[in-house]
């Protein structure tokens, strides 16, 4: 828990979120500024700054994020048509919240390469 971290505040229930899935390790909730018909953020409850900060001790949390992303995709009916699973690190990628999160984006054709 990092006191000044927005997503830690959401995990702690201090800031509301539209939660779609919760386990002991992860939380999945709808993005406040959706970029596609389905835009869900999957986060580990543990405070990890970004993919660059992942270490050996984080393996189960990372696996739980991917398991949750699959479940979100199934629940949102994205698994047959397809979806994008993406994480941003640093300024050039546009990371704006410094707590690891995976965007699950779908419900429309996703352009490639991304902007
Ligand atoms: P990043 O730009 O760091 O990859 O993604 C951060 C995401 O968090 C953005 O898509 C942004 O819309 C979303 N976001 C920022 N603040 C909040 C919030 O308070 N609640 C929710 N649900 N999403 C947020
Ligand atoms: Zn955090």
Provide the CATH number for the domain around residue 69: 3.30.428.10
Report yes or no on 113 lying in a domain.
no
pLDDT of residue 41: 99
How far apart, in Å, are the Cα atoms of 111 and each of 6, 13, 16, 45, 72?
Answer: 29, 34, 31, 30, 21
Residues 6+ apart with CB under 8 A from 3: none
pLDDT of residue 2: 87
pLDDT of residue 1: 82
Work out which ligand 1 atom sits closest to the CA atom of 33.
12
pLDDT per position as a tens digit, 76-95: 999 999 999 999 999 999 99
Report yes or no on 115 lying in a domain.
no
Total domains in the chain come to 1
- Pocket residues for ligand 1 (CB within 6 Å)? 6, 17, 29, 31-33, 41, 88, 94-97
Report yes or no on 111 lying in a domain.
no
- Going by C-alpha positions, the residue among 56, 52, 39, 44 that lies closest to residue 91 is 52
- Going by C-alpha positions, the residue among 27, 14, 37, 9 that lies closest to residue 98 is 9
Report yes or no on 59 lying in a domain.
yes
Q: Rounded to 5 degrees, what angle do the CA atoms 10, 32, 45 make? A: 25
- Which residues form the domain of 10? 6-106
Helices and strands (H, E) in the chain, number of each type: 2, 5
Output the CA 83–ligand 2 centroid distance in Å. 25
Query: Which residues of the chain carry a pLDDT beneath 70?
Result: none
pLDDT of residue 97: 98
């Amino acid at each position: 828990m990092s006191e000044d971290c927005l997503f830690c505040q959401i995990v702690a229930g201090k800031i509301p979120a539209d939660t779609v899935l919760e386990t002991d390790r992860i939380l999945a909730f709808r993005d406040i500024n959706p970029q596609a018909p389905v835009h869900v953020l999957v986060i580990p409850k543990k405070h990890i700054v970004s993919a660059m900060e992942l270490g050996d001790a984080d393996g189960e949390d990372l696996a739980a994020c991917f398991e949750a992303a699959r479940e979100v995709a199934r629940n949102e009916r994205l698994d047959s048509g397809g979806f994008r699973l993406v994480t941003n690190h640093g300024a050039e990628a546009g990371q704006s919240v410094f707590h690891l999160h995976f965007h699950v984006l779908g419900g429309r054709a996703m352009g490639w390469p991304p902007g």
